[in-house]
Structure 1
Amino acid sequence: MKEIEILIPEDFAVEEASVFREKLNKLIDRGERHFILNFKNCTFVDSTGLGVLVGIYKRSKEVNGSLQFSSVVAPKVIKIFKLTRLDKVFGIE
């Protein structure tokens, strides 16, 4: 199983989220299925970013793929995942 690691931008908001969605959808269309999203530089995620993550998660599951999160370290990012309970969906500890 080949996994592609993708670095999440520092400010994962409207503009960055749209670019990210396009990039991941193109990769899935090309046949890629397994992704690791690296949050080491990410300090902020807004509702658009969360929506894109949920959408990509659903799409990857539809094609029998996987989506893993790594290096979720910023307190604000951890907090938003916990508040929305997405930490349980995405397996963030």
Structure 2
Amino acid sequence: MEPYLPLLDIDGTLVIVGQVGPMAEFNTVQLLLGRRRIAGSPIGGIRETQEMLDFCAEKNILPDCEMINMEQINDAFARMECADVRYRFVIDMASLARAT
């Protein structure tokens, strides 16, 4: 976290969203001299989520996904267990009708 603190403007806030578990130690001098803050939220809020989505749309930032058919779900699960996943799996729900 320490390399990010100098990027904050004076009176800036670093918001940690979804961090669960221990965090590395950091030097508090950067917090004190820059009047910076650290805040946390398990999920963020609706307003913040909308701002993030608007920013991504404006900058054309898209998620990396691998579309799979329902028939490939077992293969996808096996790949997850082997850490052979580069992107998030998204199930094509149109394939659900073909799988049943």
What's the TM-score, normalizing by structure 2?
Answer: 0.23
Higher RCO (CA-CA < 8 Å; seq separation 6+): 1
What's the TM-score, normalizing by structure 1?
Answer: 0.24
Answer with 1 or 2: which has the greater Rg: 2
